[in-house]
Structure 1
């Protein structure tokens, strides 16, 4: 047998390659002199970018096309969400529909390690959190015997609790883009405790050195908290203060989502 047989399983590299840009963040302390390394104030959120409909394909009647989709950025966090449905549900309920969520990290999404292709236990746990946080806002009784599926992919992560909060915001935008009937848009925000001070929207480096982290998902118009998760120990008054601050931050995120969705509806159809 000849030794120069072409191996179809091997992907040849490009003729010219460019070295990636590496950021040296190993020696940078997340908190210096009572402030933050990126210059933000303690209650300041990272800039938010939203776009709905990025996963739409042509023609629109294709069975693989999602009913709605959204792309969400918050600092270094990048998340995409595709919503399918309402469609015939696997769990038939004559009174109300069901909402299912699938959550997955991209293999290259985490800077500290490479994620495996097989879904881990933490991803399944986050998927359940997203379902419970979003289900109260969806009018499931309007879709009997139907199922609404949301598929969330984390392209880049920067803080576990901040990523979960961003995923909830992305799902809200995707559900609105799909035309799903909602009681209200769910907005989420995270905080971490560092030296008795609560810090909003922490990145991964800031969460790593914090004593406690939590996130709150809330329907601001209905004034109802849909989910609250805390990791770490705090005093009751500290938790109350953090929940109140998170609720105020959720109102700001809600304003950004509402302004974008309203502007997208006012744009003329192409």
Structure 2
């Protein structure tokens, strides 16, 4: 039997091979020489916002949304985070005998907005969870008793994300501006802020690179005029003293963000 028979049913490997070169999995420390953008540990990124019609938002509505223009809309930008929101209502609610109105939120990432995972047009489980978080954070500020048998819907689209917790905080601020633009009666506007724990220090408004190396993250929604926390969420472990420090710092930062939102809303009326 000949020994030079070649089996053509399989792919024969090369006579000589070399060890493959794998990409390095090590990530650079964004805190090696201070923060990359030069901010202080308790400083948020620059904020830009605008209220008014957002024609692109119409394509994001579900089939239950009306074709008319939104009651209020807003665009919010904080560093590399870009969020848009359209508010519809008050309009006929789902329960005809409800004595108080309801607030519903639909949160979605654009397919190209996230660096940590490729997104499709199908709504993911984390988007549903964030939608409930936003409802719990914003609903206490709305005078739902003033809108019996009615519902108020907010549609939030993340155009670009840079930090998971920071993106949710930006969505809270964007919804507050859109509700004010829609003329919805509220007890106070809600401001959101996030922080990450790096060693023993809290870092405000973390980017995605900073959040990846943080051992703990905190998100807080706050009504400064009413002095009331509407929502708080923490991921990771921290001591009671560190948690108390995060709450105090977040409330102070929310007050600053609230002042920016109010100052813009006042200037838009002039």
1:258 aligns with 2:257: no
1:117 aligns with 2:116: no
1:133 aligns with 2:132: no
Q: How far apart, in 2, do the equivalents of 1:54 and 1:209 lie? A: 38
Map of 2:184 onto structure 1: 180
After TM superposition, list the pairs within 5 Å mapping 1:1-270 onto structure 2.
28-33=28-33, 35-55=34-54, 63-266=67-270
Q: How far apart, in 2, do the equivalents of 1:105 and 1:63 lie? A: 22
Moved more, 114-123 or 85-94: 85-94
Size of the aligned set, in residue pairs, is: 236
Superposition deviation, residue 56 in structure 1: 5.9
Q: How far apart, in 2, do the equivalents of 1:105 and 1:77 lie? A: 12
Segments of structure 2 that go 5 or more residues without pairing to the other structure are 1-25, 57-65
Question: Residue 78 of structure 1 contacts residue 157 of structure 1 at CA under 8 Å; is this kept in 2?
Answer: yes
**TM superposition score normalised by structure 2:** 0.85
Q: How far apart, in 2, do the equivalents of 1:66 and 1:263 lie? A: 21
Question: Residue 192 of structure 2 contacts residue 222 of structure 2 at CA under 8 Å; is this kept in 1?
Answer: yes
Map of 1:22 onto structure 2: none
Q: How far apart, in 2, do the equivalents of 1:54 and 1:75 lie? A: 22
Change in Cα spacing, 1:210 to 1:107, as seen in structure 2 (3 Å) is same
SS of alignment partner, residue 70 of structure 1: strand
Larger radius of gyration: 2
Superposition deviation, residue 265 in structure 1: 1.0
Superposition deviation, residue 95 in structure 1: 1.4
Superposition deviation, residue 37 in structure 1: 1.6
Superposition deviation, residue 252 in structure 1: 0.3
Question: Residue 29 of structure 2 contacts residue 213 of structure 2 at CA under 8 Å; is this kept in 1?
Answer: no
Per-residue CA distance 1:73-112 (angstroms, 9 max, x = gap): 0000000000000000113343110000000000000123
Per-residue CA distance 1:51-78 (angstroms, 9 max, x = gap): 0013169xxxx94210000000000000
Per-residue CA distance 1:130-167 (angstroms, 9 max, x = gap): 00000000000000000000000000001010000000
Moved more, 110-119 or 231-240: 110-119
Q: How far apart, in 2, do the equivalents of 1:30 and 1:163 lie? A: 19
Superposition deviation, residue 28 in structure 1: 4.5
Q: How far apart, in 2, do the equivalents of 1:155 and 1:90 lie? A: 30
Question: Residue 67 of structure 1 contacts residue 178 of structure 1 at CA under 8 Å; is this kept in 2?
Answer: yes
Superposition deviation, residue 203 in structure 1: 0.5
**TM superposition score normalised by structure 1:** 0.85
